[in-house]
């Protein structure tokens, strides 16, 4: 056989392989191009609807006064969950620094392997004490706490009864469990009772509600919920992310506000809002439940433990609240000052006497434009629109902090009046 013939015989299958490879590459790129086209169409739809959510860049620490990239001078911040101003409290910050130096940046592991330190146990004990419950378990976030609870607690013979406006993390957590699901109308005790009757054949029944509904500032009718739960033999769960630290005489939350701390069985909450503002969530409740969560809760078992600096900050925040209720009590007057002044100016403010004060506008584009104009006047607020809130119910959610002064509040109201008149919201 000649060399030329041998090369020809050898190269024929190679060319076939290369041609096949080129065809596969072309198909791959075509699939990618098609996927990107689908994504761009979806993004264009969001922009056209006026519901695009841009992210402003803050160049300073969190607080009532911040620096915002692209804006000049001091900006008033009325859009943070930093209800007690503890995210930049000197003692809280120093506690985080001390924890970083003593315990390091992180554990590089999950809790049950080599990710638990004395710091974590200390915080869990203090949170259980704060809420007056038997035990506590920490998570990377309250979203994880909600994702990890229902699947462990409830099985196919059980039922969960959930308020229709509960937080997305609760909805997702319930989806993971196999219990029968009943959704009752928002804060409607009559409808809840009907669902409790329907579910009487279940082994366990759990009534699930936000203590405070974050988009509206509504406070759940917790006493009535507990009355019905006891009447029909159900357990009660509350998500306290927007209540822990400042609702109730001692800031213990919605259950303290209504005098039902001993009638609410399970509480989930966050370290990422009033309690230091960094990250982390937790469940407090009966020790048997907490023990079971440590054995079976997937977000706990498969997520790294909370970083020591976060834990250190949170410990100090809880210690400050255990020592005094002064910060929590300062919230009421400031909240009502803003709500009353805005209502007198002609704005519609949703919710009740809670530091979440949604300025209802309806139109998504209007909410976005007004928020941009407020920033030009030195006030940081954000327009909320679908899918964060229902279509047609866009708003600017204002959040009052204990760190805000009366002057800060009055300046913000004046900016709203100026912007509201410009856009025809008020006369």
Those residues whose C-beta lies under 8 Å from the C-beta of residue 416, and which sit 6 or more positions away, are 342, 345, 347, 359, 374, 379
Those residues whose C-beta lies under 8 Å from the C-beta of residue 426, and which sit 6 or more positions away, are 345, 346, 347, 417, 420
Task: State yes or no: is 180 an active-site residue.
Answer: no
Annotated catalytic residue, options 120, 131, 167, 242? 242
For residue 203, give the nearest of 180, 173, 169 by alpha carbon. 180
Spatial separation of the C-alpha atoms in residues 89 and 87, rounded to whole Å: 6
Count CA atoms closer than 13 A to 67's CA, side-chain side.
6
With contact defined as beta carbons under 8 Å apart, do 133 and 285 qualify?
A: yes
Annotated catalytic residue, options 214, 350, 385, 401? 214
Count CA atoms closer than 13 A to 145's CA, side-chain side.
30
Spatial separation of the C-alpha atoms in residues 402 and 326, rounded to whole Å: 10
Residue 226 three-state SS: helix
Q: Where are the alpha helices (DSSP H) in 263-330?
A: 287-296, 298-301, 308-323, 326-329
Task: State yes or no: is 53 an active-site residue.
Answer: no
Task: State yes or no: is 242 an active-site residue.
Answer: yes
CA torsion 241-286-256-310 (nearest 10°) is -40
With contact defined as beta carbons under 8 Å apart, do 222 and 264 qualify?
A: yes
Annotated catalytic residue, options 273, 334, 354, 393? 273
Spatial separation of the C-alpha atoms in residues 398 and 367, rounded to whole Å: 12
For residue 301, give the nearest of 413, 137, 74, 79 by alpha carbon. 137
For residue 270, give the nearest of 170, 144, 147, 382 by alpha carbon. 144
Spatial separation of the C-alpha atoms in residues 391 and 12, rounded to whole Å: 62
For residue 109, give the nearest of 390, 307, 354 by alpha carbon. 307
- Report the chain's terminal Cα–Cα distance, integer Å: 97
Q: Which residues are part of the catalytic machinery?
A: 214, 242, 273
């Amino acid at each position: 056989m000649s060399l030329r013939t041998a090369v020809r015989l050898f190269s024929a299958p190679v060319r076939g392989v290369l041609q096949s490879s080129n065809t596969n590459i072309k198909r791959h790129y075509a699939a990618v191009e098609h996927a990107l086209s689908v994504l761009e169409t979806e993004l264009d739809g969001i922009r056209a609807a006026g519901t695009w959510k841009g992210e402003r860049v803050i160049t300073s620490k969190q607080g009532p006064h911040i620096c915002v990239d692209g804006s000049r001078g001091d900006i008033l911040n009325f859009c943070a969950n930093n209800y007690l101003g503890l995210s930049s409290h000197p003692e809280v910050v120093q506690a985080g620094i001390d924890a970083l130096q003593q315990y390091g940046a992180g554990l590089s592991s999950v809790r049950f392997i080599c990710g638990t330190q004395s710091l974590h146990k200390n915080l869990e004990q203090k949170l259980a004490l704060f809420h007056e419950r038997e035990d506590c378990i920490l998570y990377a976030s309250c979203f994880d706490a909600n994702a990890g609870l229902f699947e462990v607690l409830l099985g196919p013979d059980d039922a969960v009864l959930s308020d229709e406006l509960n937080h997305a993390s609760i909805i997702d957590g319930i989806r993971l469990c196999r219990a029968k699901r009943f959704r009752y109308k928002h804060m409607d005790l009559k409808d809840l009772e009907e669902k409790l009757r329907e579910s009487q054949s279940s082994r366990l029944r759990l009534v699930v509600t936000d203590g405070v509904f974050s988009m509206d500032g509504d406070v759940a009718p917790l006493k009535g919920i507990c009355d019905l739960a006891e009447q029909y033999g159900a357990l009660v769960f509350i998500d306290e992310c927007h209540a822990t630290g400042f609702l109730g005489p001692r800031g213990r939350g919605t259950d303290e506000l209504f005098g039902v701390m001993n009638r609410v069985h399970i509480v989930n909450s966050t370290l990422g809002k009033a309690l230091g503002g960094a990250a982390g969530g937790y469940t407090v409740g009966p020790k048997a439940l907490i023990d079971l969560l440590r054995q079976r809760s997937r977000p706990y078992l498969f997520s790294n433990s909370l970083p020591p600096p976060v834990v250190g900050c949170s410990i100090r925040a809880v210690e400050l609240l255990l020592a005094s209720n002064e910060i929590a009590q300062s919230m009421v007057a400031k909240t009502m000052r803003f709500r009353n002044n805005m209502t007198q100016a002609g704005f519609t403010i949703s919710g009740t006497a809670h530091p979440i004060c949604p300025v209802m506008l309806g139109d998504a584009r209007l909410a976005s434009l007004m928020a941009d104009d407020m920033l030009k006047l030195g006030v940081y607020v954000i327009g909320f629109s679908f899918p964060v809130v229902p279509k047609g119910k866009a708003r600017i959610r204002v959040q009052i902090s204990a760190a805000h002064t009366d002057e800060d509040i009055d300046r913000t109201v004046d900016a709203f009046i100026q912007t509201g008149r410009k856009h025809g919201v008020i006369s």
